[in-house]
Amino acid sequence: MKINQEEREKTSRKCSSVVDGNFEEVPRETAIQFKPPLYRQRYQFVKNLVDQHEPKKVADLGCGDTSLLRLLKVNPCIELLVGVDINEDKLRWRGDSLAPFMGDFLKPRDLNLTIILYHGSVVERDSRLLGFDLITCIELIEHLDSGDLARFPEVVFGYLSPSMIVISTPNSEFNPLFPSVTLRDSDHKFEWTRMEFQTWALYVANRYDYSVEFTGVGEPPAGAENVGYCTQIGIFQKNGGRATEACVSEQHDQHVYKAVFTTSYPSLQQERFFKLVLVNEVSQQVESLRVSHLPRRKEQDGEQGDKPKDIGGSKAPVPCFGPVFTEVEKAKIENSPKPFCVGDKFFVPLQRLLAYPRLNRLCANEEMMRSVIADSIPLSSDGSAVVTDLCNYFDEQFEF
Amino acid sequence: MSGRARVKARGIARSPSATEVGRTQASPLPTSVDLSNNEASSSNGFLGTSRISTNDKYGISSGDAGSTSMERGVKNKQDFMDLSICTREKLAHVRDCKTGSSGIPVKLVTNLFNLDFPQDWQLYQYHVTYVPDLASRRLRIALLYSHSELSNKAKAFDGAILFLSQKLEEKITELSSETQRGETIKMTITLKRELPSSSPVCIQVFNIIFRKLSLWPGFAISVSYFESKLLFSADVSYKVLRNETVLEFMTALCRRTGLTCFTQTCEKQLIGLIVLTRYNNRTYSIDDIDWSVKPTHTFQKRDGTEITYVDYYKQQYDITVSDLNQPMLVSLLKRKRNDNSEARLAHLIPELCFLTGLTDQATSDFQLMKAVAEKTRLPPSGRQQRLARLVDNIQRNTNARFELETWGLHFGSQISLTGRVVPSEKILMQDHICQPVSAADWSKDVRTCKILNARSLNTWLILCSDRTEYVAESFLNCLRRVAGSMGFNVDYPKIIKVQENPAAFVRAVQQYVDPDVQLVMCILPSNQKTYYDSIKKYLSSDCPVPSQCVLARTLNKQGMMMSIATKIAMQMTCKLGGELWAVEIPLKSLMVVGIDVCKDALSKDVMVVGCVASVNPGITRWFSRCILQRTMTDVADCLKVFMTGALNKWYKYNHDLPARIIVYRAGVGDGQLKTLVDYEVPQLLSSVAESSSNTSSRLSVIVVRKKCMPRFFTEMNRTVQNPPIGTVVDSEATRNEWYDFYLISQVACRGTVSPTYYNVIYDDNGLKPDHMQRLTFKLCHLYYNWPGIVSVPAPCQYAHKLTFLVAQSIHKEPSLELANHLFYL
C-alpha cells in the first residue's frame, strides 16, 4: 500500500524555522530531496505567476486540501478565489481554514475578496467559472482516466476559456531516479514524458487558440540534467487576451457544481471597515501628536526634572522606531497646518492629518475624512480639526 | 546576556504562577497525558504524577490537528488532576447523600447536554510500533490511516497511541505497508486496555473529538463527567482583541517615556502579554524582547535556507514590514511532546502582532467597560437562543453527525434539573428586624434604622485643597447628619488645607497625625492613582491609622450627596471597628474564615494572601491580615500563622475557642485542589489542634469558585430568565466525587447570572448539606460595603478587597494594629 504522493512530500519537510512554530520532525533521508519540498515549489511557482500577472479571478481545479488557495488568498490583487474538487469531505473540513482571521478584520485588505469552494468534477461545465483570469490544474490531469482526459480540454479551454491556464504533471523521465520506478501515486492513471506532455499541450493550445510555454520545478540532480524537471508545467495564454465580458454574459447560467463553502473578506471597499480603519488611524495619529506636545509644555512650565534619569539597567542598544518618512513626505508634513492648543484643548487640523502618508493613502481629501470620522471623533466647531483634551488622567497614571 | 539566553534564564528562574503551583513541587510535570505506562496508573486514578515524566513520549492528539488539541490537552489535564482528588468518600455524612431538601423547588434549564452512547460503550486503547522505526509522526499516521482495516473506523492517533471505539478482532494486529520508496514497514497494533466511558482518558478523548469538529466558534465547550453521566457543556465566550499592534504600542510608549528608560519600561509592560499574529491567527505569549534582532536579519527556514524576516513575510503572506528598526518579540513555544529537547523560541515582529485583552487604562474606563459589558453580557434569553442554534448546527451538520456516530456517540437533549430556592434572610439592625423587599439591595429598607454598634468619632482630620474646601465643608455637614441618624456620632474634625499634589498630602499626614487621631479623611483633587496609593501605603503600614479617601468629583455630584454620605459614613464606622447589621446565625460558637490569593500588581512573582476571620458569634466583627508569599507551600504555612492569630483573638474576646470553624477558600486555580488537600488543610488542622489542649474546634474547608461552566435559567412567562436569589443546585450538574453545590447569591441586571460553585473538601463539622448551604447563603449577606447580597460569602469578599488593596496600592503587609478594623473597605 502506498501513501499519497503529496502526503509523502509533506512528510519530508525539514524543520528549523523559528518563525511559525509549525515544526515537523526531521525526516529520514530520502534518495532525492527537494529543498523546498516539491509541492511547495509548485505552489510557489503559481504564486510567483500571480504576483507577476495580477489576476483578479483565480480558480484552482482539483484543489484538494486547499493548500494552494491558502497561499494565494494573501495576494492583494485577487478578488475572487475558487477551488473545485470532487472530494466533498475534504472541502468541508478545510473550508474553515480559509475564513478570515481576526486580524483580517483589524487590518482589512484593500480590495474585496470572496472565496468559494465547489464540489464538482473538472469535466463538467459550470458557468460560475466563466470569465476567469487564471485557472490552475496542479497535478490534476494524471488523475483523469482517458475519457475524462479527452473531455478536459473541451471544458477548461473551450468552455471556461480563461486568460491563462497552468497545468502541471509529473515528468516520467525523472522517475528512474526514485528508488521505485512505478507510478508516483497509486491513483495516477498515467505519467508522461516531456514529449508526451508537450505534444498533448501543443495540440490543445492550437485547437483552442492558446499559446503555450513549458517549464517545470524540481531540478534534476547533478549528472542527470538530461531528464528534465521532476514536475513539468505548461503555461497557456489565450491569444487575443482576456475573454470579453459580453461573451461571458451571453452564456446560459449553468450551475452544476455545489457550493460547499463561501466566505468574503472585510476590505477597505466596505464602508464599515473603511471607517473602522480611518477612525483608528486618526485617533492614533492625534494621540501621538498630543503626547509629543506634552513634554514640551512641561519644559516650558519648568516642571521637568523630577523624572528619574536612570539608564543603568539597560544595556540594550537604543531603539529607534516609528514611521520613517522620506524627505518629500517630511516636507509635506512640515508645510501642513500645525497642531495647536487653546486652553486645555488640543487641536489637530484635518489638513495636517492628511499630510501623513498612512492617512493620505486612505483618504483623498478633507471633506471625505470629515464625513467619515465626524460621528466617532470630536471635531472643532468649524469641523476643520480634531479636538481632544491636552492632558488626560493617564498621562500622570503612566508611572515608571 | 543575549535575548535568547535571558529567556532561558527567566524560564528557569520564574517562580510558579498561580495556575502552575498546583502541580506538586518536586516532580516535573508532563505537558501531555501519560498513556504509556497505564497498567501502573490505572488502578488509582489515572494520574501518577511521579511516574509520568520519564518515559512517555506522546500525548493524545487527534491526527493532523496535533498541536492545537495538544495545547488544550494541557488545560484539560489540570481539570482532570482536580477530578482525581476524591474528597467526598472521606466525608462519612455525605457519602450516601449530599443533597439538601429545604426550600421551594424550582425547575431550571442548563447549558449542559446529554451525550448518549450505548451502555456497554468502551474505548479501546492500542499501542502501535513500527519496524523499522519511523521518526516522522506524520508518516506514522499516514501509513496507519491508509490501511483498510482502519480507514473506516473512528480513531484518534498521535503516532504511538491509538484509540478506537470498536475493538479489533485480534489483541495484536500485524499490518504492513510499503512506503513510496518501496520500503516495507511492519506495524504492530497491541491492545493495551479497555476504558469505560467514565475513565478520565475517555473524557479527554471525547474533548478532542468534539473540538476537532470545530462547530463552535464563539463557544467554550467541554465534555466532562458530572454526577451520574457524561455531559457536554457550552457557553458563549468572548476574546477581546485590541485594534493596536505591539509596534504601535511600543511607539506610543517610547514617546511617553523618552528613550532613557524605554527598554525597561517596554519589557515591563509587554512581557507576559498574549498577542495574536495577524498572518496565521495564532496566539503567543511574549516571553522576552530581543532588541538586537531586526526584521532585516536572517533566520534559517525549515529547509535550511536563510531568509530575512522581511522577505519571509513578503513571500509567505504578502505582508510588507514597514518598520525595519523594530526589535523582535520572543516567545517560548510549548513543547508538543514531553521530550527533553530544548524549548524552542519563536521570533515575532511587533508590527504583525495584535495585543489581546483590555489595558488597565481600558478597564478603569467605566464608560468603555459598560460598552464592553453590553456587547458581551448576554441575557438568559439570548444565551438560550445561541445554545439552540448550536444544537441545530450539530444536528444539521452531516459530517459532525457522521463523525460522532462512528464513535457511537449521539448528541442528546438539553438538561433540565430541579433546584431549590432557600428562604430569604432577615436583616438584624439595632432595634429593628427587617425583611428586605429584595435581598439585592436593602438600603431603602433600613434607611431609618440604627446600625448595630458604632464607635464615636471624636478626633479626626480632613485633608483637602483650597479648591475643594467648600465642597468638603458641605459634605461634612451632610455626613454628620446622616451619621447621627444611623447612631454614629461624628464630631467636628480638624480641617487641613494642602497643596494639590500627592507629596503634599503625605507630608500633611506625617505632620498632623498623632496617636489620638482616629481617622484621616482625604478629599482627593483627582483620581490620579499616586494620591490614593501613597496615602494608603503610609497610613496602612508606616503609620497605621484608618483612612478614608474621597474624590472631590464624587462630592460634586448634585442630588447624590445624601446617598454618598450614607455610604461613606458606613465605611467609616466599619473602619473604626463598628458593626452595621447581622443575620441570624443558628450555630452558637462558629468562626468563619475567608481566604483569597492574588498576584501583586508590581512584582508578579509575589502572591498576596488575604485572610479574614470572624471574632464574635454574631459574625459582625473581623480579624483581617494580609501576608505576602512566594510559593504555594508558603501560602499554606502562612495560613497557619494567620489561624493561630485569629484563634487567639477569638479566645481573647470570647474566653473560649470556637466550637466550629468554617473556612471559605477563594483564589484557587485549576489543578490546585491537590495542593489544598495535601498542604493547606493539614496546616489549618494543625493550627487548630495546637491552639487547644483538650478538644479542638471542628473544621470545614470549602473551595469557592466564581467561575464555573454551568449556567442555570428558569422558564417564566415563556422566556428564560435568571433564577431567583437563593437558588441552590446540588444534583446532576455537580460531581459525584465531590461534596459540592451551586448557589446563586447575586442579581445580574444585565446578562446572565453566574452561579457560585462551592466544593466542601474537608468537613468534620458534620453539618447537614441543607445547613451548610443555608449558612453559606446567610454569609453572603454580611459584606458591609454593600447593603445587599454579594456573590460570595462575606469573609471571602473581605479577603478579596484586602488582597486587592495590597496588590494594587500598598505592595507590603499592612500593620497588624489595623487587623481588628475593616480598614480596607
Per-residue pLDDT reduced to its tens digit, B102-117: 999 999 999 999 988 8
Which chain A residues contact residue B147 at CB under 8 A? 1
Cis peptide before B379 (omega within 30 of 0): no
Of residues B273 and B631, the one with the higher pLDDT is: B273
What are the C-alpha distances in Å from B712 to residues B218, B419, B707, B735, B748? Answer: 19, 9, 13, 16, 13
Stretch among B283-297, B326-340, B462-476, B737-751 having the lowest mean pLDDT: B326-340
What is the predicted pLDDT for the residue at B52?
Answer: 28
Mutation to test the B interface, candidates A2, A10, A18, most B Cβ within 10 Å: A18
Pick the last residue of a domain from A248, A265, A282.
Answer: A265
Both A89 and A163 in a single domain? Answer: yes
Nearest CA in chain B to A73: B317
Q: How confident is the model at residue B336 (pLDDT cuts 50, 70, 90)?
A: low
Q: Are residue A49 and residue A190 in the same domain, yes or no? A: yes
Half-sphere exposure of B586 (CA within 13 A, CB side): 10
Q: Which positions in chain B touch A318 (Cβ < 8 Å)?
A: 259
Specify whether A241 is located in the same domain as A276: no
Q: For residue A77, is it within any domain? A: yes
Alpha-carbon distance B428 to nearest alpha carbon in chain A (angstroms): 42
Same domain membership, residue A75 and residue A211: yes
Residues B10, B288: contact at Cβ < 8 Å?
A: yes
Sign for the CA dihedral angle at A199, A202, A208, A214 comes to: positive
Cα–Cα distance, B739 to B85 (Å, whole number): 12
Residue A20 to residue B259, Cβ atoms within 8 A: no
Q: Report pLDDT for B280.
A: 83
Question: Bigger pLDDT: B632 or B472?
Answer: B472
Q: What pLDDT score does A241 carry?
A: 62
| Strand stretches in A171-310, DSSP E | 210-217, 231-238, 258-265
Distance (Å) of CA B237 to CA A45, B383, B387:
41, 11, 12
Query: Among all chains, which residue has been given the C-alpha cell 480632613?
Result: B462
- Residue of chain B with shortest Cα separation from A43: B316
Q: Does the pLDDT value for residue B43 go beyond 50?
A: no
Q: Taking 90 as the threshold, does the pLDDT of residue B264 lie above it?
A: no
* Contact criterion met (CB < 8 Å) for A107 and B67: no
Residue among B136, B302, B331 minimizing CB distance to A16: B302
Which pLDDT score is estimated for A242? Answer: 57
Contact yes or no for A103 and B354 at CB 8 A? yes
Among A230-234, A303-307, B469-473, B821-825, where is mean pLDDT lowest? A303-307
Domain boundary among A247, A265, A283: A265
User: What is the chain A residue with the closest CA to B309?
Assistant: A19
Residue type, B499: Q
**How many CB pairs below 8 A link A and B?**
207
- Identify which of B291, B316, B529 has the shortest CB distance to residue A317: B291
Question: How are strands ordered across the β-sheet holding B460-464?
Answer: B494-497, B460-464, B519-524, B547-551
More confident residue, B319 or B35: B319
pLDDT tens-digit series, residues B521-555: 999 988 777 888 999 999 999 999 999 999 888 88
Asked if the model's pLDDT at residue B414 lies above 80, the reply is: yes
Please state, rounded to an integer, the average pLDDT across all residues of chain B: 82
Task: List residues bridging with B289 in a β-sheet.
Answer: B329
Find how far residue A26's CA is from the centre of its chain. 29
Q: How far apart are CA A135 and CA A148, in angstroms?
A: 18
| Cα distances (Å, whole numbers) of residue B393 to A99, A267, A378, B62, B639 | 18, 28, 43, 22, 49
- Most A-contacting residue of B176, B180, B269 (CB-CB within 10 A), to test interface: B180
Residues A130 and A255 both lie in one domain: yes
Q: Give, for A67, the enclosing helix (H) or strand (E).
A: helix A67-72
Q: Identify the weakest region by mean pLDDT among A25-29, B366-370, B665-669.
A: A25-29
The answer to whether B139 contacts A11, with C-beta atoms less than 8 Å apart, is yes
Q: Which residue has the cell 482616629?
A: B518
For residue B476, give the H/E element and its range: helix B469-486
Look at residue B15 and tell me whether its pLDDT is greater than 90: no
| C-alpha distance from B366 to closest chain A C-alpha (Å) | 13
Q: pLDDT at position B257, please?
A: 74
Copy the grid coordinates of residue B457. Answer: 468619632
pLDDT band of B653, cuts 50, 70, 90: very high
The upper half-sphere exposure of residue B792, i.e. CA atoms within 13 Å in the direction of its Cβ, equals 26
Average pLDDT on B462-466 reads: 92
Q: A146 and A165, same structural domain?
A: yes
**What is the distance of C-alpha B394 from the center of its chain?**
30
Nearest to A23 among B309, B325, B344 (CB): B344
Query: Are A259 and A276 part of one and the same domain?
Result: no
Most confident residue range from A196-210, B136-150, B206-220, B702-716: A196-210
- With cut-offs at 50, 70 and 90, classify the pLDDT of residue B497: very high
Note whether residue A18 is domain-resident.
no
The answer to pTM > 0.95 is: no
> Which residues make beta-bridge pairs with A238?
A210
Q: Hey, how many other C-beta atoms are within 10 angstroms of the C-beta on A298? A: 14
For chain A (length 400 residues), average pLDDT per consecutive 10?
Answer: 46 36 37 80 93 95 90 92 88 75 87 94 92 95 93 94 95 84 80 95 95 94 89 94 52 82 92 90 88 58 40 47 80 91 89 91 90 90 89 54
d(CA B575, CA B459): 14
Q: How many CB atoms lie within 10 A of CB B512?
A: 14
Tell whether the model's pLDDT for residue B734 goes beyond 90: yes
Interfacial B residues in 391-430 facing A (CB < 8 Å): 399
CATH of the domain at A276: 1.10.10
What is the arithmetic mean of pLDDT over B157-181?
83
User: Is residue A171, in this structure, part of any structural domain at all?
Assistant: yes
Does residue A103 form part of some domain? Answer: yes
The enclosing H or E element of A376 equals: none
Q: In the block, which residue shows the cell 474576646? A: B653
A50 shares a domain with A150: yes
- B361 Cα to chain A: minimum distance (Å): 7
Instruction: Please name the residue that has the C-alpha cell 457522521.
Output: B402
User: What is the per-residue pLDDT for B54?
Assistant: 27
Provide the number of structural domains found in chain A.
2
Residue A188 carries which side chain, given as an amino acid letter?
H
Residues of B in contact with A309 (CB under 8 A): 260
Q: Residue B402's closest chain A neighbor by CA?
A: A89
Residues A284 and A252 in one domain: no
User: Greater confidence, A352 or B78?
Assistant: A352
Q: Quick check: is A319 in a domain?
A: no
Residue A23 lies in a domain: no
Q: Which residues on B lie below 8 Å from A16 (Cβ)?
A: 300-302, 304
Strand B519-524 and strand B494-497: the pairing is unpaired
Contacts of A320 in chain B (CB under 8 A): 259, 325
The cell numbers describing B213, all together, are: 469538529
The residue behind cell 473512528 is: B154
Which chain B residue shows the shortest CA-CA distance from A51?
A: B318
Taking an 8 Å cut-off on Cβ atoms, the answer to whether A37 and B177 are in contact is: no
Tell whether B130 lies on the interface with A, counting CB pairs under 8 A: no
Domain range holding A83?
38-265
pLDDT digits (tens, 9 = 90+) for B684-715: 999 999 887 777 889 999 999 998 889 999 98
Give residue B265's pLDDT.
Answer: 82
Which of A19, A102, A356 to mutate against chain B (most B CBs within 10 Å)? Answer: A19
Determine, yes or no, domain membership for A3.
no
Contact between B791 and B745 under an 8 Å Cβ cutoff? The reply is yes
* Average pLDDT of span B22-44: 30
Cis peptide before A27 (omega within 30 of 0): no
Q: Do A110 and A168 share a domain, yes or no?
A: yes
Domain end: A225, A247, A265, which one?
A: A265
Instruction: Kindly list the residues from chain B whose CB atom is less than 8 angstroms away from the CB atom of residue A400.
Output: 257, 261, 265
CATH code: domain of residue A256: 3.40.50.150
Which residues from chain B sit within 8 angstroms of residue A23, using beta carbons? Answer: 336, 344
Pair A177, A249 in one domain:
yes
- In a domain? residue A298: no
- For residues A205 and A187, membership in a common domain is answered with yes
Taken as a whole, chain A contains a residue count of 400
Q: Looking at the DSSP assignment, which residues form a beta bridge with residue B234?
A: B221
Question: B824 is written with which cell numbers?
Answer: 480596607
pLDDT score, position A95 = 66
B672 CA: distance to closest CA in chain A (Å) = 30
Q: Is B389 in contact with B397 (CB distance < 8 Å)? A: no
B320 and chain A in contact, CB less than 8 A = no
- CB B134 to CB A322 under 8 A? no
Mean pLDDT of B375-384: 82
- For B783-823, the three-class secondary structure string (H helix, E strand, C coil) is CCCCCCCCCCCHHHHHHHHHHHHHHHHHCCCCCHHHCCCCC
